[in-house]
Structure 1
Amino acid sequence: MIYVDISAAVHARAGLGRYSEKLAQALIEAQPERFGLFYNRGRDGRFPPSLPTQIPQKSVQWGYKPWRMAVLLGQMGRLGFNRLIPNAELFHATEHLLLPLRGVPTVLTIHDLIPQLFPAYHKKLNYWYLNVAMPLYCRRADAIVAVSQATRQDIVTQFGIDPAKIHVVHEAPASHFQPVSPARVTQIKQTYDLPDRYLVHLSTIEPRKNLNRLLDALKALRQTLPNLSLVLAGGKGWLYDDFFAKIETDGLQDAVKVLGWVPDEDLPAVLAGAALGVQPSLYEGFGLPILEQMASGQVVAASNAGPHPEVGGNAAAYFDPRNVEKMTAVIHRLLTDKEEYQHRQQLGLAHAQKFSWERTAQETIAIYDQLLKK
């Protein structure tokens, strides 16, 4: 039995949760007899309704922080937590938390190396934990899945891990991200009271998302496009007080709408109803929102940082995330050049179709099989 850790999905933790849920779903659909699910239920965990309940499950019920410390101390002391997943032939940790197991091969997915590359963007306790744990977990795992070539290179550079141990397997947009009808867009705009013309940013609100510079670009754009607004779809992450203070200071209260978390069924229409998608991050492990917007029929202007060009290909338009003038110029060009916009829209729809969770599952299963043959 191969156990996949879906704790992030049980606690709906943004991108990590989506990854573990969609991967588990695709793995089970491909080879249902091979997989079991492991998770820390915690105090308020909820089993994802998209996953079949008849699949073998093992769980613990610990607080998030005590569980993370138990796993780290277990790894440091070389203890075996095998009794938690009896008869496991392989274990896949889908977030940055590798269960210590004896005699069982392990796979670890690394999504990003933000704590190492941008320590100021993490809370101190989280930074300390990940700085200690991540290099150890990478060394202990038998194989590592990196979600992008950029993340793979970061792992090699930061931790000195053998590149042969690291396999790049891309994420994919969920199947509900697809073009929607104009009537649906109109309905959703009314439901959420969305402005007529808006830029949309899809992600959590945290410093590395570079939203302060996006506000500067919005302010500049509104000098020639006074009815342009910004809509943010995604929950609050951390260290976001400066961003909300800047909205007030810049007098953009009426130009910025924060939706918070948007249900999956409404998200494609929110994205499609925008004038443009903008992803200005300073750093990402992958950058899935780029594909989610393209699959919904939206054109994307994105930073040229990290894996964005790898993910967006020639369909997205790129800018230097630290240069507000260049960001503004690229956004302005896409908003005013209908021919380029329509061309990139078609490129984006075709590009997003190259990525699928079925393919992700098959490539991941190949890693499992390679380890199990050893």
Structure 2
Amino acid sequence: MAPVRVAIDFTPGLNQLAGIGRYTRELVRALTENAQFEIILWYGRTSSPLPHSSSPRIHYRQIPFSERWLTRLWYRVRIPFPIDPLIGPVDVVHGTDFLVPPARCARVATVHDVSFLLVPELGHPRLVSFLQAVFPRMLRTVDALIAVSESVRQDLLRLYRLSPDRVYAIPHGVAFPFAPHPPQHARPVIASLGIREPYLIAVGTVEPRKGYPVLLQAVERAATKIPDLQLVIVGATGWLAEPIERALEAAQGRGRVLRLRGISDQTLAALYSASAAFVTASFYEGFNLPLLEALACGAPVIATDIPVHREVAGDAALFVRSGDVDSLAEAIIGLLTEGALASRLQKAASQRASRFSWHKSAEQHSAVYRAVASEHASRRP
């Protein structure tokens, strides 16, 4: 049987360090273990270096336009020029970042969240209006959607009244180096970064959806009981972040907050492992990959009580109401002062994370590719 040729949009894998970029890179890495697939990685013109791949099943194809121009041509101006002539004959084209371009073959798109519909006030207005306009048009022609969680899948079915057999929930995975790091390995890393203990760690872009103002207020209140408490934030500055950044800078000046950007995965895993807790105050998430990474490192978790956090963390987290400073502060104090509670969550964390792997995720993606390729081939005259 000839291998299925899958063309994957690798642009996020080149241009985005976390989130969608990590998903794209890890998916491709796991897919190379499957001999049934030939993988073409296509991307817009970029200055980002290509990763090294020794797999004979990986082929790179650069499109002679930048990502911005591709977006304009395919989605704004809506020029229906198929991607196939630019990358060669394939069986499936997979758009890894919400949208997939026109193609003569089967088309699959990954949907990471529906924040542009559910919490549009927390997103960048231009991106929100773009997705609200373009996404429904794509739905009329795409062969299948991959939702990164059952929560996102249910939202898609409810909001767009899609056929359930066209929407697949495939959760992310987690892999090395995200595993518990022993104290003798983690503490030198902490010391080199000037972090004091006990500390909480929060990971994610600084933007309104992540709830950082609520988290900062809760940490300040918890510090009345735990004076040395520090909040370590790992993440870049995102959209609509100016007032949030001002508050974080003021807290950093008081020594309550430490901001880190651009650290390695190995360093991040060490920080998860030695933290008193990983805390996420997000109002909305499609999956929350840092939450899974923290669980894999054995960190106790405090998370807002939203559907996808329940889906990912299960019984391995303390849940608090979104936007509730008092309940979040109480959870922080309780976790840091009750050794039995912290121990229970640490034990549950690794067990919960073991349910997720990129290998399993890639196998589920593979099943979707085979299904849509077969269905598309059967419709050919």
State the TM bucket, normalised to the shorter chain.
over 0.9
**Distance in 2 (alpha carbons) for counterparts of 1:280 and 1:163:** 31
TM-score (norm 1): 0.94
* Matched residue type, 1:45: S
State the partner residue of 1:56. Answer: 59
**Distance in 2 (alpha carbons) for counterparts of 1:268 and 1:138:** 38
C-alpha RMSD of matched pairs (Å): 1.9
Secondary structure (helix, strand or coil) at the match of 2:237 reads coil
Show the 5 A alignment for 1:1-40. Answer: 1-31=5-35, 33-40=37-44
State the partner residue of 1:192. Answer: 193
Secondary structure (helix, strand or coil) at the match of 1:327 reads helix
Q: How far does the alpha carbon of each residue in 1:57-98 deviate from its partner, in whole angstroms, 9 at most, with x for none?
A: 211143332221112147x45432321121111111111231
State the partner residue of 2:378. Answer: none
**Distance in 2 (alpha carbons) for counterparts of 1:213 and 1:121:** 14
Note the C-alpha offset of 1:116.
Answer: 1.6
Note the C-alpha offset of 1:260.
Answer: 1.5
State the partner residue of 1:89. Answer: 91
State the partner residue of 1:316. Answer: 317
Q: How far does the alpha carbon of each residue in 1:223-280 deviate from its partner, in whole angstroms, 9 at most, with x for none?
A: 1111101000122222111112223566863100000121112111111121111011
Secondary structure (helix, strand or coil) at the match of 1:347 reads helix
State the partner residue of 1:181. Answer: 182
Aligned-pair identity in percent equals 28
**Distance in 1 (alpha carbons) for counterparts of 2:280 and 2:14:** 27
**Distance in 2 (alpha carbons) for counterparts of 1:179 and 1:286:** 21
Q: Is the 8 A contact 2:303 2:318 kept in 1?
A: yes
State the partner residue of 1:237. Answer: 238
Q: Is the 8 A contact 2:272 2:294 kept in 1?
A: yes
Q: How far does the alpha carbon of each residue in 1:309-356 deviate from its partner, in whole angstroms, 9 at most, with x for none?
A: 000011111111121111111221111111111111111111101110
Q: Is the 8 A contact 2:42 2:61 kept in 1?
A: yes
State the partner residue of 1:158. Answer: 159
Note the C-alpha offset of 1:203.
Answer: 1.2
**Distance in 2 (alpha carbons) for counterparts of 1:88 and 1:255:** 53
**Distance in 1 (alpha carbons) for counterparts of 2:265 and 2:226:** 30
State the partner residue of 2:48. Answer: 45
- 1:70 equivalenced with 2:70 (yes/no): no
State the partner residue of 2:368. Answer: 367
Show the 5 A alignment for 1:321-332. Answer: 321-332=322-333
Show the 5 A alignment for 1:201-216. Answer: 201-216=202-217
**Distance in 2 (alpha carbons) for counterparts of 1:33 and 1:247:** 47
Secondary structure (helix, strand or coil) at the match of 1:34 reads strand
Q: Is the 8 A contact 2:37 2:57 kept in 1?
A: no
Structure 1 191/32 Cα, relative in aligned 2: closer, same or farther at 3 Å? Answer: farther
Note the C-alpha offset of 1:181.
Answer: 2.0
Q: Which one is further off, 127-136 or 317-326?
A: 127-136
Q: Is the 8 A contact 2:170 2:361 kept in 1?
A: yes
**Distance in 1 (alpha carbons) for counterparts of 2:50 and 2:150:** 31
The runs of 5 or more residues in structure 2 that have no matched partner are 376-381
Structure 1 170/15 Cα, relative in aligned 2: closer, same or farther at 3 Å? Answer: same
Q: Which one is further off, 300-309 or 246-255?
A: 246-255
> How many pairs are equivalent?
371
The runs of 5 or more residues in structure 1 that have no matched partner are none
